[in-house]
Chains A and B, each alone.
Chain A
Amino acid sequence: MSTTTATETHAGTAEHHELSFVRKYIFSTDHKMIAKQFLFAGLMFLALGGLLAVMIRWQLGFPGRPLPVFIQWIFPDTMAPGGIILPEFYNSLVTMHATFMVFFALMPLMAGVFGNLLIPLQIGAEDMAFPRINMASFWIMPVAGFIMLASFFVEGGAAGAGWTSYAPLSTSGEWTGVYMGQILWLISLIVLGFSSILGALNYVTTVMNMRAPGMTWFRIPLATWSIFVTAWLLLLAIPILTGGLILLLADQTLGTAFFRPEGSGEPLLWQHIFWFFGHPEVYILILPAMGFVSEVIANRSRKPIFGYHSMVIAMVSIGFLGWVVWGHHMFQSGMNPLLGMTFVVTTVVIAVPSAIKTFNWMGTLWRGNIHFDTPLLHAVAFVALFIIGGLSGIFMASAPVDIYIHDTYFIVAHLHYVLVGGSLFGIFAGITYWYPKMFGRMMNEGLGKVHFTLSFLFYNMAFFPMHNLGVQGMMRRIYDPNQYEYLQGLQPLSTFISISIFLFATTQILFAFNFLWSLRAGKVAGNNPWKSCTLLWTTPSPPPHGNFPEMPIVYRGPYEYSHPDREEDYWPQDEPPETSEAGGQLAAAPSPEPVPGD
C-alpha cells in the first residue's frame, strides 16, 4: 500500500495492529467475516430444517412405520416411541421445519450472507455504515436459534400450531398440548426480529450513503439493488410481526384476549397482522435470489443484463405492491368475501413485475455466449423453477379456484417451487459464484455439476407431484392422510415423493463436502475468476480489511460485457476511459445513466 493511501481513513485502521483471534473470527466487525458467520450458521440451520423435512416425509411416505434403526434411538418416547412419530411431534416437525427454514436458513443465507458480503464490495465502500451494529445483528441470530432449538426439549415439546401460528390454536396450550414451546417460539422470533432490523438498517444506510464516486443509483449491480429493496421490506415488515408476536405472547402468558374469542378478541386479526408481514416476507425470501441470478446470468452469458432499468423498476414495484396483497392468504378465512376481488386484482398485478424479470433473464441469455458453470446452471434452474412457482401462483390468486386448493398440497408444491426451486437454487448460484471471493479458492466444478444435476432431478421428482396431490384434494399438515378414504390410493405417490426428498437431502452432502474440501484444496481463484465488471472483483480474494487498496471510481454500469470496441469481453466499472475526458466526465457530476446507455 502506498503512503498516499495509508493516510486515508478506510485503509488506515487495518495497518497497525493485528486483531486477536476473538476480534477477528468471533466478535468481528468486518462485514466479510460477518457474512461468513451468517453463511456457516445459515447452512447449519438449513441442514437442521432439512432433517426435520426428512422426518416429516418419513411419516408421510411410511405412515406408522418406525424410523430406521439408529435414528429411532435418538428420539425419546414423548416424540417417537418405538421410532414411530407421534401426531404431536409431527405437528412440531411441520411447524419447526418451516420456522427454521424461513427465519433461520433462508433469511440469513440471503440478506445476512450476501447483504453483508456484496453491498460494501459492490458499491465500493470500505465496510458497512455501522460495523458494530452489524456484529450485533449476527450474534442475535444464534441466540434466537438456540431459544428455538431449546423448545424441542421443554415439556410439551416445540410449537405445533404451524409456522403461521394461527390464533386461537396458538394462544393456549389447552388446544395443542404445547405450553412452553409456543412461548419460546414467540420469544425466539421477537429476538430474531432485532437481528433483521439491525441488519437491514445497515444495508439501507450503506447503500444510500457510502457509494464510491461515480456509483450512481443506476450503476448499482442488481444484487445490491435486490438486497436494498429487501432491506426496506425487512425494516417495515418485521416490526409488524414483532408487534403481533408480542400481543400473542401476552395472550399466552398474561391472559389478555387480543386474539382469543372468549374475550371478544379477533382470531382473524392475527391473520391480518401475520400476512401483512407475511407477504412482504415472501419477497424478502425471493428478491435477493433474483439479484444473484441476474448477476450470474449476465456474467456467464457474457452479455449486458437485458433491461437493467426495468429489472430495477420491477423490484421496486414488487416492494410496493407486496404490501397490498396479503388478503390472498385469507380467501377462505372468513374475511369479508367482498374484499376478495380486491385482493385478486392486486395479486395478479404483482405477477406482472415477476414476469418482467423472467423475460429479462431470458432476454439476457438470448444471443449470449453462455458458459455452463455451476453458478449458471443453478441460476437458470432458478429461472426455470421460478416460472413454475409463479404460474402455479396464478391458480391460487383466482379466489374461486383457491377454494379448492387452499390448504392442500398444491400450496405446498407452489411454495416449495418458490422457496426451494427459487430461493435455494438462487442461494446455490450465489454461493458457488461468490465463493472464490469469500475464500480465495474455487469450488470444484465437476462435483458442483454432479450436485446440481442430482439436486435438480430429485428436487423436481419430490415437489412436482405434490401439485397432483393437491389436485386430488390432499390437505397439508395432515399426520396421516390415510385417515381419509379418498386419499388412500395416493400413498404410493407420497412414498415416491418421500424417497425423492431423501435422495435430494442426501445429494446435499456433496455440496457440503465440496464446500469444505474446497476451502483448503480448491483451485486458487485470483482476483477475478469470472471476468466480472463489478467492483467486488477488483479486490484481492479474499479482500483485505478495508476492501479497496485505493478508492475506486466508477465510470460505467455493472454489466458491460462483450463491448464491440474492446478486445476483452468485459469492461470493469472502475477502469478509466482511455481518453483524457476521464477527469471531465467525473467532474461533470455522474450522470444517472450508464455511460454506454441503452
Chain B
Amino acid sequence: MSQGAVATMDRKPMPGMMVYNKKLGMWVFLLSEVMFFTSLIGTYVILRFAHPDHWADVGLVLNVQLTALNTFFLICSSVTMVKAFAAIQEGNQKGLQMWLLATILIGASFVGIQVYEYMALTGEGFVPMLDSYHAVGRGNPHEGPSLGGPLYGATFYAMTGFHGAHVSIGVLCLIFVYVQSLRGVYTADNHEGVEVIGLYWHFVDLVWILLFTIVYLI
C-alpha cells in the first residue's frame, strides 16, 4: 500500500524538463512554428537572391515609418504581457486584468494598422498577384513605372500576412484568457494559462522583429 504513495511522490523526479506539461507543450509547438516561418522566410531569401530586380529600394513602396511605429506597439504589448504575468504571480487579479486588456488593445491595434497598411499598399498597386502587380510607390500618382516585381509583393504578403494571422489568433486567445481572468480563474498559485499564452505572444513579437528587419529595412 505504501508503494502507491511512494509512487505519487516519486512521480516528480522523472520529469526531466522541470516544467509543467502545458509550458513544455507550448515550447515544442513554438519550435514547429519556427519551422513554419523558416519555410516562408527561406522562400523569401531564395527568391530575393535569385531575382534582386523584383525588389524596390527601401522605403519606396513600403511605409517604413508607420510600420516602425507598429513594431514599437508590438514590443510594448510584450511589456504589458510581462506585467500581466508579474501581477498574477503576486496574486494581483486586478493588475492581471488591466495588463491583459492593455495587451489585447495594443495587439488589436497592431492588426488594425496592418490592415490599413494593406489597403494603402493594394491601392498603390502593390499586390501579390503576378498579373495585376504594378507598384507605383508611396504617394505617387497612379501612373509611372512599376517598382520591383510580383515576387516582392507575393513574399511580402505571405510573410506579414501569416504573421498577422498569428497576432490575430493571439489576440483571440488573450481575450479568452482575459474572460477567464474576470471569472477569477487565475491565482498566485494557478496561472499556467497566462504564462503559456505569454510565451506565444513573445514568440510572435520576436518573429515580427525579425520580419520587420528583413522585409522593411533590408
Residues of chain A touching chain B, judged by Cβ–Cβ distance below 8 Å, are 2, 4-5, 8, 129-130, 133, 197, 200-202, 204-205, 208-215, 217, 235-240, 242-244, 246-247, 250, 254-258, 260, 262-266, 269, 272-273, 550-553, 586, 589-590
Chain A residues within 8 Å of B11, by CB = 212-213, 551
With A236-B35, A257-B130 as known contacts, state yes or no: A130 contacts B21, CB within 8 Å.
yes
Of residues 20 through 69 on chain B, the ones whose CB sits less than 8 Å from some CB of chain A are 20-22, 24-25, 28-29, 31-33, 35-40, 42-43, 46-47, 50-51, 54
Bound complex: CA A254 to CA B157 (Å): 12
B128 partner, pick from A202, A211, A250, A264, beta carbons under 8 A: A250
Total contacting residues, chain B, CB less than 8 A: 51
Asked whether, in the complex, the Cβ of A240 is within 8 Å of the Cβ of B150, the reply is no
Contact present for A5 and B149 (CB under 8 Å)? no
User: Whole-angstrom distance between the alpha carbons of A255 and B129 in the complex?
Assistant: 5
The answer for the CA separation of A5 and B7 in the assembled complex, in Å, is 10
A201: contacting residue among B5, B25, B132, CB under 8 A? B25
Question: Would B4 and A4 count as touching, CB distance under 8 A?
Answer: yes
Cα A244 to Cα B36 in complex, Å, equals 9
Determine the chain A residues whose CB is within 8 A of the CB of B13 once the complex forms: 213, 589-590
Q: How far is the CA of A550 from the CA of B184 in the complex (A)?
A: 35
Determine the distance from Cα of A4 to Cα of B7 in the docked complex, in whole angstroms.
12
Q: Which 4 A-B pairs have the closest CB atoms?
A: A243-B39, A551-B7, A239-B36, A213-B10
With A235-B28, A240-B35, A247-B43 known, 13 other A-B pairs at CB within 8 A are A201-B32, A205-B21, A208-B17, A256-B153, A257-B130, A257-B150, A258-B154, A260-B130, A263-B149, A265-B151, A269-B46, A551-B11, A553-B10
CB distance from A215 to the nearest CB of B (A): 6
* Most chain A CB inside 10 Å of its own CB: which residue of B13, B32, B46, B131: B32
Interface SS majority for chain B: helix
A201–B46 alpha-carbon span in the complex (Å)? 30
CB pair B35–A552 under 8 Å, yes or no, is: no
Q: Contacts A213-B13, A586-B10 given: A265-B129 contact, CB under 8 Å? A: no
Would A244 and B8 count as touching, CB distance under 8 A?
no
Q: Once the chains are docked, how many angstroms separate the CA of A346 from the CA of B128?
A: 37
User: 14 A-B Cβ contacts within 8 A?
Assistant: A130-B22, A205-B24, A205-B28, A209-B16, A213-B14, A235-B28, A243-B38, A254-B128, A264-B150, A264-B151, A550-B4, A551-B11, A553-B10, A586-B10
In the assembled complex, the CB of A234 is this many whole angstroms from the nearest CB of chain B, namely 8
**Contact residue among B5, B25, B50, B158 (Cβ-Cβ distance under 8 Å from A129):** B25
Question: Is B24's CB under 8 angstroms from A263's CB?
Answer: no
How far does the Cβ of A164 sit from chain B's closest Cβ, in whole Å?
A: 16
Contact A239 B32 (CB under 8 A): yes
Write out the residue numbers on chain A whose beta carbons fall within 8 Å of the beta carbon of B4.
Answer: 2, 4-5, 8, 550-551
> A263 — nearest CB in chain B belongs to which residue?
B130
Min CB–CB distance A241 → chain B (angstroms): 8
CB distance from A238 to the nearest CB of B (A): 7
> Is the beta-carbon distance between A256 and B7 smaller than 8 angstroms?
no
- Tell me which residues across on chain A come within 8 A of B14, comparing CB atoms: 210-215, 590
How long is the Cα–Cα vector from A47 to B35 in the complex, in angstroms?
33
Question: Which A residues are CB-close (under 8 A) to B3?
Answer: 550, 553
A297 to chain B, nearest CB (A): 28
B218 within 8 A of A: no
How many Å from the CB of B182 to the closest CB on chain A? 23
Whether A551 lies near B8 (C-beta < 8 A) is yes
Q: How far does the Cβ of B129 sit from chain A's closest Cβ, in whole Å?
A: 4
Interface residues of B in 47-102 (CB under 8 A from A): 47, 50-51, 54
Q: Which residues of B contact A255 (CB under 8 A)?
A: 129-132
Q: Contact check: which of A129, A200, A244 meets B39 at CB < 8 Å?
A: A244
Contact of A256 among B10, B51, B128 (CB under 8 A): B128
* Cβ distance B150 to chain A, nearest Cβ, rounded Å: 5
Please indicate the chain B residues that have their CB under 8 angstroms from the CB of A209 in the complex. 15-17, 19-21, 24
Q: Name the A residues within 8 Å of B47 (CB-CB).
A: 258, 265-266, 269
In this complex, what residue of B is CB-closest to A245?
Answer: B39
Query: Bound state CA distance, A237 and B38, in angstroms?
Result: 11
Checking A201, A214, A237, A243 against B43 with a beta-carbon cut-off of 8 angstroms, the contacting residue is: A243
B54 to chain A, nearest CB (A): 6
Which of the residues A238, A250, A263 comes within 8 Å of B158, measured between beta carbons? A250
CB-defined contacts of A254 to chain B, threshold 8 Å? 128-129
Q: Which residues of A contact B16 (CB under 8 A)?
A: 208-209, 217
Q: Across the interface, do B130 and A240 meet the contact criterion of CB distance under 8 Å?
A: no
Mark B94-132 against chain A: 1 for CB-CB distance below 8 A, else 0. Answer: 000000000000000000000000000000000011111
Docked pose: A269 CA to B11 CA in angstroms: 48
CA distance A258 to B47 in the complex (A): 8
B39: which A residues are within 8 A, CB to CB? Answer: 239-240, 242-244, 273
A210-B21 contact given A4-B5, A257-B130, A589-B13, CB 8 Å threshold: yes
What is the distance, in angstroms, from B24's C-beta to the closest C-beta of chain A?
5
* Interchain CB contact under 8 A, B28 and A204: yes
Nearest CB of A to B205, in Å: 19
Q: How far is the CB of B75 from chain A (nearest CB, A)?
A: 25
Which residue from chain B places its CB closest to the CB of A6 in the assembled complex? B4
Contact (A266, B154) CB under 8 Å given A256-B130, A552-B7: no
- Minimum Cβ distance to chain A for residue B20 (Å): 8
Q: Which residues of B contact A257 (CB under 8 A)?
A: 130, 150-151, 154
Which residues from chain A contact B8 at a C-beta distance below 8 Å?
8, 551
Q: A550-B4, A551-B8 are in contact. Are A205 and B154 (CB under 8 A)?
A: no
Measured CA separation A258–B128 after assembly (Å): 10
- Whether A239 touches B154, Cβ cut-off 8 Å, given contacts A129-B25, A264-B51, is no
On chain B, the residues within 8 Å of A236 by CB distance are 31-32, 35
Bound complex: CA of A210 vs CA of B131, how far in Å? 54
- Contact B10–A242 (Cβ < 8 Å): no
**In the complex, which residues of chain A have a beta carbon less than 8 angstroms from the beta carbon of B24?**
129, 205, 208-209
Q: Which residue of A lies closest to B54 (CB)?
A: A264
Cα distance A211–B54 in the bound complex, in angstroms: 53
User: A593 to B40, alpha carbons, bound, how many Å?
Assistant: 43
Q: How far is the CB of B166 from chain A (nearest CB, A)?
A: 12
Chain B residues with CB below 8 A from A197, complex form: 29, 32
Instruction: Give the complex CA separation of A272 and B45 in angstroms.
Output: 13
| Chain A residues in 8 Å Cβ range of B51 | 264
Alpha-carbon distance A463/B99, docked complex (angstroms):
64
User: Which residues of chain A are near B35, meaning CB under 8 Å?
Assistant: 235-237, 239-240
Residues of A within 8 A of B19 (CB): 209
Docked complex Cα distance between A201 and B22 (Å): 10
What residues of B have a CB within 8 angstroms of the CB of A215 in the complex?
A: 14
**Minimal Cβ-Cβ distance residue in B for A552:** B7
Q: Looking across the interface, which residue of chain A has its beta carbon closest to that of B38? A: A240
Residues in B with CB closer than 8 Å to A208 are 15-17, 24
Q: List, in ascending order, chain B residues with CB within 8 A of A265's CB.
A: 47, 151
When distances are taken between beta carbons in the complex, the residues of chain B under 8 Å from A217 are 16
- For the complex formed, measure the closest distance between the CB of B17 and the CB atoms of chain A, giving whole angstroms: 5
CB–CB A550/B151 < 8 A:
no
Contact indicator B50/A243 (Cβ below 8 Å) = no
Inter-chain contacts of A242 with B (CB < 8 A): 36, 39
Assuming A213-B11, A263-B130, A550-B4, is B40 touching A243 (CB within 8 A)? yes
